[in-house]
Amino acid sequence: MLSVLIETRNDEEGLARTLASLVGGAVEGVVRDVIVCDAGSTDQTHRVAEHAGCHYVTSGIGAAIGQAKGDWLLLLEPGARLAEGWIDEVVAHTARQTMPARFSRARGSRAPFLARVFSSSRALAEGLVVSKRQASALAKDARNAEALARGLATRKLNAEIWVAPPR
């Protein structure tokens, strides 16, 4: 049903935190596979991915999308954690929608107003749920997951995400 794609580069600790928040989805049968798309890590990112049973690719986001088994993709930054209740919300969204969606930031994860105004936003900070078909089309012009997610009109899910700390 849902393939999770996480693009990394030297993010072994963040990857472990993100993978831990996906366990419930795997147990429920919602998460079909997890693909770690690595952009040249020199740390132990590959070992974290392998120990967690993830597919590990180094050939770019387009190749990762092509390997995904689910009809819907969940793109996350390493270090982001999904809050309890995300599974039901994503299942409901994918059953009735065709447009992409993002999570709502958890209350403790929201930056102060001025920090939001004066910082550059990350397109994947709130994650992205997108159909595999749309992601495949977008990946032709995108060099990475961040570029793929930038500028998309999305719906806001009624589920929270703890945003990954800025790198």
Per-residue model confidence as pLDDT tens digits over 125-157: 999 999 999 999 999 888 899 889 998 899 999
Six token digits for residue 92 = 């409901």
- Give which of 84, 77, 61 is closest to 126, Cα–Cα: 77
Domains of the chain, CATH where assigned = 2-162 (3.90.550.10)
Please, are residues 37 and 57 in contact by the beta-carbon 8 Å criterion? yes
Q: Is the pTM higher than 0.85? A: yes
pLDDT score of 122:
77
Burial class (CB in 10 A: 0-12, 13-18, 19+), 39: middle
Give percent of the chain above pLDDT 90.
72
Question: Residue 117: is its pLDDT beyond 60?
Answer: no
- In whole angstroms, give the CA distance from residue 166 to residue 156: 22
Q: What does the buried/exposed string (b/e) look like for 139-151 if buried means 16 or more CB atoms within 10 Å of the residue's CB?
A: beebebbbebbee
pLDDT score of 115:
53
Please, are residues 129 and 97 in contact by the beta-carbon 8 Å criterion? no
Q: Residues 60-84: pLDDT tens digits?
A: 899 999 999 999 999 999 999 999 9
